[in-house]
Amino acid sequence: MLLYTRDGHVSVQLMYPESASALSNDYVQNGYEASFGSYNIDEAKHILTHHIEASNTRSLLVGKDLPRVYRFTSDGHLIIKSARPDERWFVEWEHY
């Protein structure tokens, strides 16, 4: 679940499949990812920045700014990927 509010707040929650339940890194702890904070958008550069206020990984993300490159597909899905060259992931979100 990914939520953006009109007043500039963001909340992210992801539960990975059971096969990845042991996954842990800066974003994920035991297969679960959750964070919230504020965000801002640079529409000209297609950069969305999450400003993390709280996270299930605590000090690994709290207080950090996480820039993301975003785009919309022709069918309205939102593609987000890290703006960091050392991170090679992307997520496709569908509005429901």
pLDDT tens for the 96 residues of the chain, in order = 999 999 999 999 999 888 888 888 889 999 999 999 999 999 999 999 999 999 999 999 999 999 999 999 999 999 999 999 998 888 999 887
CA angle centred on 8, ends 13 and 15, rounded to 5°: 5
Q: Return the pLDDT at 3.
A: 94
**What pTM value is reported for the model?**
0.87
Q: Return the pLDDT at 7.
A: 97
Helix (H) or strand (E) holding 34: strand 32-42
* Long-range contacts of 9-15, Cβ-Cβ distance < 8 Å, separation of 24 or more: 9/36, 9/37, 9/38, 9/39, 10/36, 10/37, 10/38, 10/39, 10/50, 11/35, 11/36, 12/36, 12/50
Q: How far apart are CA 72 and CA 95, in angstroms?
A: 11
Q: Return the pLDDT at 22.
A: 86
Q: Return the pLDDT at 25.
A: 87
Cα–Cα nearest to 91, from 70, 65, 76, 67 = 70
